[in-house]
Amino acid sequence: MKFKIILLLFGLSLLSCKDNSQKERITRLVKEWKGKQIKFPTDAIFTKYITDTTNFQIPSKGDKVLIYVDSLGCVSCKLQLRKWKQFIAYTDSVTGGSVPFLFFFHSKDTDETRYILKIDQFDYPVCIDRADRLNKLNAFPSDVTFQTFLLDANNKVAVIGNPIHNPLVKELYMKELTGKSSKQSTQQKTTAKADQVSFDLGTYSLKEDKKISFTLTNTGNSPLVIQDIVTTCDCMDITFEKHPVRTNEKLTVSIVMKAKEKGFFSKTVAVYANTNRPIKIQIKGSVQ
């Protein structure tokens, strides 16, 4: 795939950046990693649930997806394994299961990671890289958004970015793997406005679920179509009306917050639709 195509599509996601310096940083990072060859440890061992070893090997040929997760911050938030299961199933359906996924977790707490894998019933082979050898060989970006890669047959980076964090990156993956653009890239643009863009849930118990909702109004001239709603953690259950919304009509997005740990949190919900930029909702609170 030509680099100018990557920058053209990736540039759409940059519209959500807050300032030009951030745009320049991301553009620089994409240029730096495009075509870079990834090095793998020679004796990486893949397991299921960190207990059962498998005969899974890193393929020497063909496209592959590499997912690296460091040990910083909320591991469950970074993994979002339910979304990965959906993306793997979708990729398998359009590629005939020909694209392997290489999960490398630099986990300092294997008990926690094992619990997350089991609770999400994620039985795909993973490599627990306790010594962080993969990262030491490649020096990945510190931004979790750019620790996932689509690699070509020579293990060179074709696309950088996390497809479960950004539908535009997901489209890049699919375009590279199938040679086709999705229908969403050809949808006519419109504008939309949320009735509330920030929520303060206050202080509440770990056992308590918090429910919130907001409405989106189509303020443009074309039907509004939600393509995806992306969160910064897997502690939210999100439901919304999955039909086109005509001009001046509204749709409701409902969110149930299911906290997994105590402490203050600040989360972002990004609504990707056929608008020029995602609509972002901020949610904060404190769990006791």
Residue-by-residue DSSP string for 147-165: SEEEE-TTSBEEEES-TTT
How confident is the prediction for the chain on average, in pLDDT? 86
Instruction: Please enumerate, as own/partner, the contacts of 166-173 that have beta carbons within 8 Å and a separation of 24 or more.
Output: 166/13, 166/230, 166/272, 167/227, 167/228, 167/230, 167/272, 168/9, 168/10, 168/12, 168/13, 168/272, 169/10, 169/13, 170/87, 170/228, 171/9, 172/6, 172/9, 172/10, 173/65, 173/91
181 shares its domain with 244: no
The reported pLDDT for the residue numbered 186 is 58
Domain boundary among 169, 185, 201: 185
Per residue in 138-166, pLDDT (tens digit) is: 999 988 889 999 999 999 999 999 998 88
Are residue 154 and residue 199 in the same domain, yes or no?
no
As to burial, measured by CB atoms within 10 angstroms (0-12 exposed, 13-18 middle, 19+ buried), residue 47 is: middle
- Considering the domain architecture, whether residues 29 and 95 belong to the same structural domain is answered as yes
Q: Are residues 43 and 83 in the same domain?
A: yes
Domain extent, residue 210, equals: 192-287
Distance CA 274, CA 86 (A): 22
State pTM to two decimals: 0.76
State whether 99 and 239 are in the same domain. Answer: no
The pLDDT of residue 23 is 75
Same domain, yes or no: 202 and 155: no
pLDDT in tens, 72-83: 777 777 788 988
For residue 62, what is the domain's CATH number? 3.40.30.10
pLDDT digits (tens, 9 = 90+) for 224-272: 988 888 887 778 888 888 788 999 999 999 999 988 788 998 989 999 8
Residue 200's CATH number: 2.60.40.10
Same domain, 24 and 64: yes
Do 168 and 240 share a domain, yes or no? no
Domain boundary among 143, 163, 185: 185
Of 151, 185, 219, the position where a domain reaches its end is: 185
Residues 90 and 223 in one domain: no
Task: Indicate the number of domains in the chain.
Answer: 2
CA torsion angle 32 166 18 218 (round to 10): 150
